Amino acid sequence: MTDAIPTAADLTLGEKASLTSGADFWTTKSVERAGVPSIMMTDGPHGLRKQTEAADHLGLAGSTPATCFPPAAGLGSSFDPELVERVGEAIAVEAAIENVAVVLGPGINIKRSPLCGRNFEYFSEDPFVSGVLGAAMVRGLQSRGVGASLKHFAANNQEHDRMRVSADVDPRPLREIYLRGFERVVEDAQPWTVMCSYNRINGVFASEDPWLLTSVLRDEWGFDGLVVSDWGAVNDRVAGLPAGLDLEMPASGGLTDAQLVAAVREGRLDEAALDTAADRVLDLVRKARRRPVVEGPLGVDAHHALAREAAGRSIVLLKNDGAVLPLARDARIAVIGEFARTPRYQGAGSSLINPTRLDTALDELRALSRGEVSFAPGFTLDAGTAEDTDAATALRDEAVAAASAADVAVVFLGLPTADESEGFDRESIDLPGDQLALLDAVLAANARTVVVLSNGGVVALPFADRVPAIVEAWLLGQAGSGATADVLYGVVNPSAKLTETIPLRLEDNPSYGNFPGEFGHVRYGEGLLVGYRWYDAKDLEVAFPFGHGLSYTTFAYGEASAAVTVDGDIEVAVAVTNTGPVAGREVVQVYTSLPVSSVQRPPRELKAFASVALEPGETREVVVTVRRKDLAYWDIRTGGWVVERGAYAIEVAASSRDVRATTTVDIEGDPIRMPLTLDSSVGEVLAHPVVGPFVRQAMESMVGGGQLDEGLVKMMESFPLGRLARFPGVGVTSEMVEGLIAMGNAS
């Protein structure tokens, strides 16, 4: 197929305007006269949702069967970019079979609060994890000629009032937490499209923010693709287009096309801006036409097998006291909980996949067992928090009887479907009361109890100190139940780690009190201290820390070493040994900190990780690279990234609170010289490499050549230089101050 697609210069004003909004819910407009075809976009990001019925963006209408892979809440826990990339490749194959040009994903927004109703679609509370895994998904999709749409750009961290709310966030956390993952994906993987979010950022709609869509995304990061609106995110099309919004979706019935034409004719919109947007749409069409043709039918079995593998790698073993797991094949098992036969495997909303098949845990456990496997539903999925109705009591009694007769009780608990969806947030992190009452009764009947969780966002675990084994099985896609059975019986050794902290209480979360905001504004009052950064800085006890995850084997770490490479990056090496009886996989995490810093910093920040598979007794040296640029903080004075000079602590860890080896490395800082002004403080003057020593010497002379009182110096550090001349008794004139400023700025 040729690339005989015209440029904007070949089109009429009306044709150019028409290209910048959708033809319908999922396709772009064609221009038949000029040979421009329409292309299709569909929802992702953990499978293909190509609708076959009335189009909508909330998952209400039916769609073509497709493989439902683990949503990001699960897949992210694998900490494995190669696995994520393989899943992306498989989704792209399915998209190509269905003639879909762009898959709307991945979503990499930060899990600021566990209450966000869409957290199941996002990877992590950490921007580094989100960026690395997001880039892997983009690479996987685009390696097969299908475009990705990186979303939701940006600071889209809640569903409440999502179409209007202003995320009011300071420059450093905006850059270091909420934009950093997007920056990495754009620079490393160049997605074909970026989707702007519904919300406002510091009062400006993302869809019409030139700073966000042009200055940052294109000028700073080098993005060369197309910016598409989230479906219905356009507030003012005439304002949005020159700001950098190229394509409005879905169709507007021609309304906004006419607005653009009128604005150009009336001189309110430069036609060059419309040309730019139209050319970006045409470039997307060219890319789509180059993709290889993939003939069906879909290899359903192979993709289901990949979904099972990915799900098995996504399951986090939180606790396993007394080696209750893995289950013995001939043990008598009581499977309890309706989720075991009616699985929750995905969240609701625009990412709702119509799976090609669906495993159930009860069937899969029975398929692997050589012993008796009984079942009791224990609760109904519509029971809510009711604990003491006659029906609930009868279900609980049945479950207790089954548990009493078993060697091990496996209790499936989780959140109802109605609790987790696009469009609204959760009200608490608690499991339903009837499920907690059931667990209490089962524990009283059988102390050897395993809890398996089905949830897209973290839940409180008030039973964590009483249950010997807890498995975080997330929402794992269509093959998740089979993968769960694999892990419970030891066919798969769990290796996943938490990409978000599980707090003891919602009240401990850093966003508590600043979520979801009020009257159209939400204040990001926690600043930089998001997720584990907050819990570590506050030294708060948590249920399970970021990065935590157990295995059926054990791992020992050797001494760590760190060295600066010729490129200025840090190469960190550590020997890891499988000291247990079975093969396993360990996620080695590298955190950095700068104990002596001129700016606020968290106690530690994840800057590298690697997943390493080891046979029993095997030792391998794990080498990871910390990019120099990832050490930088956002300097609000210069409006740029700065790597600060100093001795950086390097912590090699099994979780954010399980540090196994430490070392330090000296890093040369970026040169930064702030110009001196009348508003510069005495402290800033004293720190100046040229003027500082001169001023200190002068101050010592003023006190008779003796030692300066450092307490007095500290007190004066924040005093503005220009006010010294007006302060009686100091002996400083305006001429002296101006001379110092001139000396400093000339050096």
Catalytically annotated residues: 230
CB of 364 closer than 8 Å to CB of 485: yes
CB of 333 closer than 8 Å to CB of 405: no
Q: DSSP letter at 248?
A: B
Write out the two tokens for 535: 């819990």
* Separation between Cα atoms, residue 562 and residue 716, nearest integer Å: 40
Angle between helix 127-143 and 180-189 (nearest 10): 30
Q: State whether residue 526 is helix, strand or coil.
A: coil
* Separation between Cα atoms, residue 549 and residue 551, nearest integer Å: 7
CB of 132 closer than 8 Å to CB of 487: no
CA angle 80, 86, 87 (to 5 degrees): 95
CB of 101 closer than 8 Å to CB of 146: yes
Find residue 623's DSSP bridge partners.
573
Find residue 394's DSSP bridge partners.
none
CB of 61 closer than 8 Å to CB of 54: yes
Cα dihedral 477→483→487→493 (10° resolution): -100
Taking alpha carbons only, the member of 357, 417, 305 closest to residue 65 is 357
Residues 6+ apart with CB under 8 A from 390: none
What length does the chain have? 747
Q: Pairing between strand 640-642 and 633-635?
A: antiparallel
Find residue 555's DSSP bridge partners.
578
* Separation between Cα atoms, residue 279 and residue 282, nearest integer Å: 5
Write out the two tokens for 543: 């249920």
CA angle 540, 541, 546 (to 5 degrees): 90
Q: Pairing between strand 333-336 and 408-414?
A: parallel
Helix, strand, coil % in the chain, rounded to nearest 5: 35, 20, 45
Count of other CB atoms within 10 angstroms of residue 543 = 21
Taking alpha carbons only, the member of 531, 334, 599 closest to residue 448 is 334
